[in-house]
Amino acid sequence: MAIEDDVLVIGGGLAGASAALGAARGGASVRLVTHKENTLRNASGLIDVLGYHGSDEPIAEPFEAIPDLPDEHPYRKVGVDAVREALALFDEVVGELYEGGHTERNALSPTYGGRIKPTSRYPTSAAAGLASKEGDTLLVGFETVTAFDAPLAAERLDPSVPFEVRGVTIAFPGDLRSDARITRLARALDADELTERGRRVGTREALAERVAEHLGDAERVGFPAVLGDEEHHEVRASLGGELGVPVFEVPMGPPSLPGMRLEDGLYEALDEEGVRVESGNPVVGYTEEGGRITAVSVDRGRREIPYHADQFVLATGGLVGKGIDSSREGVFEPVFGCHVPQPAERYEWFHDEAFDDQPYARFGVAVDGGLRPLDPEGRPEFSNLRAAGAVLGGYDMAREKSGSGVSLSTGLVAGRRASEDIQ
Amino acid sequence: MTDRVDALVVGGGSTGCGIARDLAMRGLSVTLVEQGNLTHGTTGRMHGLLHSGGRYAVSDKASARECIEENRVLREIAGHCVEMTGGLFVQLEDDPDEYFERKLEGCRECDIPAEVLTAEEAREREPYLTRDVKRAIAVPDGAVDPFRLCVANAADAVEHGARIETHAPVTDVLVEGGEVVGVEVEHESGPGKRVHKEPGTTEEIRAEHVINATGAWAGRVGEMAGVDVEVRPSKGVMVIMNVRQVDTVVNRCRKKGDADIVVPHETTAILGTTDVEVEDPEDYPEERWEVDLMIETLSELVPILAEARTIRSFWGVRPLYEPPGTGTTDPTDITRDFFLLDHEDRDSLPGMTSIVGGKFTTYRMMAEKISDHVCGKLDVSAECRTAEEPLPGSEDFSILRDYMDEFGLRSPIGRRSVQRLGSRADEVLKTMDPNPVVCDCEAVTRAEIRDAIEGAGSDLNAVRIRTRASMGNCQGGFCCHRMASELHPEYDAETVSAAWDELVQERWKGERHALWGEGLSQAALNYQLHGTTMSLDRAPEVAEFAAFDSGAETATGGGKSDGD
C-alpha cells in the first residue's frame, strides 16, 4: 500500500516534534520518521530560548533581546511572536513536567559543572533549585557518580550566587556496583526497596537518612538528575517529605533522565494529535518533479520504500545529530543535498581556543522567511521543503544558550506553513 | 640555597630521564629540571615506534645495530611500556625490487631477524593492507608508550634519591670563572609538584656538572652558557586514528619519504610523518596539507584509512644535529645518530656537556654513554646497571593474573588498568573505596587517576599522559570534568578550575586538526556539553539576580517577586 501523507517530517527531536504538532494542528495528516535515537537523551532537559548575546551578562528578558539578533538568525526568520507561541505550545503539551511558563523572564539554573546559566523552561524536578531563587542549598553527590562532584560544584557556585551552597558526597544506599549506570540508580529509587545488612528498607528512606545528617540549615537539597525514572514525581516528593525541605535535580549530560522524560512527554503528545511516528530507519534519497519533492525513500533494511507527501520538513539535527555532515572536502546536508554556507578552506572552520566564537558551530542550511533552504544563489532548493531546528545555520546554540527555543519555534512555523501550503 | 649536586640534568624527555636514572643508580646526587611536563618536548610527540632497526638497515647500519640491541633490552626492562606488535616493510607493485633486496640484506647484516612474506602471507597478517602488495619483510618492530617509559625512568631516579622538578624552565646558565657551575630556574608554581595558581619562585641550582639534554631546545640552553649548539629542529606531523586499522607496525618499503609508517598504539593507530626543518622548536605552522598528506599517502598502503575516523593530530620536533660543515640540505638526510658535545674540549667551557641528535629507541644507550662521560669527569667508577634492572612497573610482572576478581573491575577495564600499571597494579588498584570508571573510552578508574595526581599535582595533562584518560574517541568531552573532580577537595575550586580549563583547551588543540566527519560531530557535541549543559564557556557575571525568574510559587505568592 502506498504511503501518502500531507506532511512528512524527517527527524524526531524537539524541532521535528514541534513541526509535526504544528502541522497536525493546522489540519494536515502528518507522519514523522526518525532514524536513530534522537539527541534529547544527550540534552539536559532545560529549554533555553536566549541566554547571551554579545556580552557575558546573561539576558533576563529573552523576547526583548531577539530583535537585536543578526538578520540570518533563525529567530529573525520566524519573528518573536512565533517564539512566544512555540513556548505556549510546549507548555501545553508537556503539562506538569515543566515550569517557567508563568513569566517571560529567564531563570538561572545551576549546572553540574558548577556554573549558572540562563534558561526559559525547566523541568519541575529542577524548579526548587533555581539559582535565581534564594535559599541556602545543599548539593549531594554519590561516590560512584563521577560526572557530578557536589562539593566541587558547590564551591564553584557559591561565590557567584547570593545564598550559601555546600556540597557533600555520600554512598548511594544498597549494594550497587561501582560502575552502575545512572539509569540503574533511578530504577532503584523507582522500586523503593533494597536489602542492606540483611534488612529490607526503602531506597528513598535510606537515602534521606544519609542526607539528613548533612542537612544543617539548608533550605533545599539538590541531587544529580537520577531521582527516579517512571516515578520521578513520587521519588522527589518522598525525599522532600523525609528531609522536610524541597528536593531538586541538577540537570546533567548524557544519559539524561530529564531529556528522556521530555522525549516520552513529546511522543505522547504526538500520539494524541494523531501523528504517525516511525523510528529506526533512515531516509536515504528522494524524488523530485519540477522543483518539488514528490517522495523520499526510507531504507527499511531489505528495500527502499517511497514515502509520498505534499510537504516536507527537514528536522534532522545539526553536526551532532548528523543532519549536517562533512568530509575533508566540505560540509553538506546529506538527505537532500541542500547548500550549507561555509568557508572553502577547512582550517577556517575553527578558531584556536575551545570557547572562541567557533565558525563550525554556526554551520547549517540558510533559509528564506518561509524556512525554505536556499541554494548558493539564494533561491529555494525546493518549493515544498522547509527546515527547522539544528539543521539551520546562522546561530550558535552553545554560546547563545538558544538551542531549544530555535528548535521549538522554527519547528512550529515550518509545520504550520507546511499545513497551510497543502495543495 | 641547596647544596651543590653532582649532576644537574636539563630536560625531562626520554634522554634526560634516562640519564637521571642512570646517574642516580650509580650513586650520584642528581637534580633534573624540565620546562614543562615530563615528555613535554619531543618524547611526548612521537609515534611510539620501538625500532627493530629495520628502518635504518639500508641508510645507517650503525644505528640499525644499536636499535635492535636496545629493542631487546627494553623488552626486558620495560615490559609494561612495550607491545611487541612486530612490523612489516611492505613493497607495493610499483616499489623497486632493488631496495627491497637491500633492506633484507641490511637487516641480516645488522642481526635484525627478518623474514620475507608473500603478498598472501602479508595480507593474512594484516587484512587491511592494499591488494597491491607485492611482498613484505617481517621484523621485530614494536610499539612503546613514551609517556609511561619516561615517567618510569623519572620515578626510578627518584627512588634512587634524585630530585625531579617539572614546570621549571631554565632562565640562566650560571658561568663563574669560565666554568659552568649550575643554572637558574623559574619554578612556575613553586618547587615540587605542580599546583595551579601557586605563585612562582626562582632558584639557583649548583652542580659539579650540567648536562644539557634538551633536544631541539639545546641551542637555547647553549646560548645561555655562551656556546653554539646548532641543532636543526625538524617538525613532523602525527595523525591519530580512532581504532587500530593495523596490529603490526606497517612501513612502506621504499627509500625515505613522507607518510610511510602506521604504528598501532593502544586502541589507536598513529600515522606518520613529515620532515620539515623549522626555525623555532615551539612556534611553527601546523598545516592542513601535512594532515591530508598522511591520510592520502598512507591509504595507498591501507585503503580504509581514507574513510576511517581521525581523532586528532599533533606535531613533534626532532632534535637533528650534524657536526658543523656537513651542509646537508634535506632534513631526512641528516643522521639520526647522537653527539656528545663536551664543552670543555669544544669551547673551553668546563662544567657542561650537551647531548644532541639520537633516537627514542636508543635513549638508554645514549644515557649510558653520557653517564659514563660524566662519571669520568667526576671521577666516579660505578658501573651502569640500567640494562639489567627493570623499571618500576616491570619487575616480575605477569598480566596473566586474575585481575578482574582481585580488583573488582570488569574486563576490559581490569585488563587495561593492569597492563598500564604493570607490577604497580596492586599498589594502585587495591583500595577500600569505590573505584568507578572516570574515563570510559580508555577504561581508566578513579584509583589510577588519584595515583597520577599524587605524582603530578594539579596538572591534569600530566595525569592524562600517565593514564591515557581523555585520550580516546570523545577526546575528553565526557571525562575532563570527571578528571578535574578528582583533584577536589585536595585542591580548591579555583585551582581545579584552572587545571580543568587547561585540559579542555589542550584536548581541543589536537582535535581541531581532525575537524571533519565523525571528528567534527564529536567536537560539536563536546562544545555543546561543555558550553551548554555545563556552561563552562564563561564565568557568570550576574549583576541582579532579582531580574530573573525565581519560580512560579514566589511569583503567585507575592514574596520576593517584582510582580510580573
In the chain, the amino acid numbered A136 is D
Q: Which residue of B has its CA nearest to A351?
A: B512
The string of pLDDT tens digits covering residues A160-175 is 999 999 999 999 998 8
Which pLDDT belongs to residue B395? 86
State the best of A132, A345, A349 to mutate against chain B, taking most chain B CBs within 10 Å: A132
A94-97 LR contacts (CB < 8 Å, sep 24+): A94/A262, A94/A265, A94/A266, A94/A269, A95/A265, A96/A124, A97/A123, A97/A124, A97/A261, A97/A262, A97/A265
Question: Of the given ranges (B354-358, B368-372, B431-435), which has the lowest mean pLDDT?
Answer: B431-435
Instruction: Out of A43, A149, A319, name the one closest to residue B524 (CB).
Output: A319
Measured distance CA(B288)–CA(B43) in Å, rounded: 23
The 3-state DSSP composition of chain B as helix, strand, coil percent (nearest 5) reads: 40, 20, 40
Measured distance CA(B550)–CA(B542) in Å, rounded: 14
Confidence check on the interface: ipTM exceeds 0.90, yes or no? yes
State the best of A63, A182, A257, A328 to mutate against chain B, taking most chain B CBs within 10 Å: A328
pLDDT(B400) > 90: no
For all residues of chain A together, what is the average pLDDT? 95
pLDDT(B38) > 70: yes
The string of pLDDT tens digits covering residues B250-291 is 999 998 789 999 999 999 999 999 999 999 999 999 999 999
| Segment 288-317 of chain A within 8 Å of chain B by CB | none
Instruction: Out of B478, B481, B524, name the one closest to residue A113 (CB).
Output: B481
Measured distance CA(B502)–CA(B364) in Å, rounded: 32
pLDDT(A180) > 50: yes
For residue A24, what is the enclosing H or E element? helix A14-25
B325: left (phi over 0), alpha (psi -120 to 50) or beta: left
In the chain, the amino acid numbered B234 is S
The string of pLDDT tens digits covering residues B279-289 is 999 999 999 99
Measured distance CA(B13)–CA(B153) in Å, rounded: 10
Measured distance CA(B251)–CA(B146) in Å, rounded: 20
The string of pLDDT tens digits covering residues A121-138 is 999 999 999 999 999 999
pLDDT tier for residue B557 given thresholds of 50, 70 and 90:
very low
Which pLDDT belongs to residue B144? 96
The number of C-beta contacts closer than 8 angstroms across A and B is: 210
pLDDT(B419) > 60: yes
Q: Which residue of A has its CA nearest to B529?
A: A253
B84 has a chain A CB within 8 A of its CB: no
Please report residues of B whose CB lies closer than 8 A to that of A162: 545
Which pLDDT belongs to residue A422? 93
For residue A410, what is the enclosing H or E element? helix A403-420
Instruction: Out of A252, A253, A320, name the one closest to residue B524 (CB).
Output: A320
Which pLDDT belongs to residue B403? 61
Question: Of the given ranges (A48-62, A184-198, B8-22, B219-233), which has the lowest mean pLDDT?
Answer: A184-198
Cα dihedral B241, B242, B245, B249 sign: positive
Please report residues of A whose CB lies closer than 8 A to that of B484: 152
Q: Which residue of A has its CA nearest to B511?
A: A354
Cis peptide preceding A255, ω within 30 of 0: yes
Residue with cell 646537508: B328
Q: Which residue of A has its CA nearest to B306?
A: A328
Question: Of the given ranges (A2-6, A353-357, B74-78, B218-222), which has the lowest mean pLDDT?
Answer: A2-6
pLDDT(B564) > 60: no
Do residues A257 and A251 lie in contact, with contact meaning Cβ atoms separated by under 8 Å? no
Please report residues of B whose CB lies closer than 8 A to that of A355: 530-531, 536-538
pLDDT tier for residue B207 given thresholds of 50, 70 and 90:
very high
Closest C-alpha to A80, from A49, A42, A103: A49
Which pLDDT belongs to residue A176? 85
Strand, helix or coil at B549? Answer: strand
Mean pLDDT across A262-284: 95
Mean pLDDT across A346-360: 96
Which pLDDT belongs to residue B404? 58
pLDDT(B556) > 60: no
* DSSP label of B530: I
Mean pLDDT across A243-271: 96
From start to end of A317-371, where are the E strands?
325-326, 331-332
pLDDT(B327) > 80: no
Mean pLDDT across B465-493: 96
For residue B526, what is the enclosing H or E element? helix B517-528
The 3-state DSSP composition of chain A as helix, strand, coil percent (nearest 5) reads: 35, 25, 45
The string of pLDDT tens digits covering residues B39-53 is 999 998 999 999 999
For all residues of chain B together, what is the average pLDDT? 92
The string of pLDDT tens digits covering residues A28-41 is 999 999 997 777 88
Which pLDDT belongs to residue B397? 62
Beta-carbon separation of B434 and A130 below 8 A: no
Cis peptide preceding B303, ω within 30 of 0: no
Closest C-alpha to B314, from B384, B205, B235, B256: B235
Compute the nearest-CA separation of A171 from chain B (Å).
9
Non-local (6+) Cβ contacts of B88 within 8 A are B117, B122, B125, B126, B136, B137, B138, B139, B248, B249, B250, B251
pTM assigned to the model: 0.93
Please report residues of B whose CB lies closer than 8 A to that of A106: 548-549
Instruction: Give whole-number Cα distances, A30 to A275, A404, B57, in Å.
Output: 5, 22, 70
Instruction: Out of B413, B536, B550, name the one closest to residue A130 (CB).
Output: B550
Which is more confidently placed, B551 or B543? Answer: B551
Which pLDDT belongs to residue A178? 85
pLDDT tier for residue A192 given thresholds of 50, 70 and 90:
very high
Instruction: Give whole-number Cα distances, B7 to A157, B182, B207, B223, in Å.
Output: 48, 9, 6, 20
Neighbours of B84 (CB within 10 A): 16
Do residues A169 and A151 lie in contact, with contact meaning Cβ atoms separated by under 8 Å? yes
| Segment 12-31 of chain B within 8 Å of chain A by CB | none
Compute the nearest-CA separation of A99 from chain B (Å).
7
pLDDT(A379) > 60: yes
Phi then psi for residue A274, to 5 deg, are 80, 15
pLDDT(B81) > 50: yes
Pairing of strands B276-277, B231-241: antiparallel
State the best of A64, A106, A149 to mutate against chain B, taking most chain B CBs within 10 Å: A149
Instruction: Out of B509, B537, B551, name the one closest to residue A398 (CB).
Output: B537
A96 has a chain B CB within 8 A of its CB: no
pLDDT tier for residue B331 given thresholds of 50, 70 and 90:
confident
The DSSP bridge partners found for residue B188 are B190
Measured distance CA(B182)–CA(B165) in Å, rounded: 15
pLDDT(A370) > 60: yes
Measured distance CA(B182)–CA(A282) in Å, rounded: 68
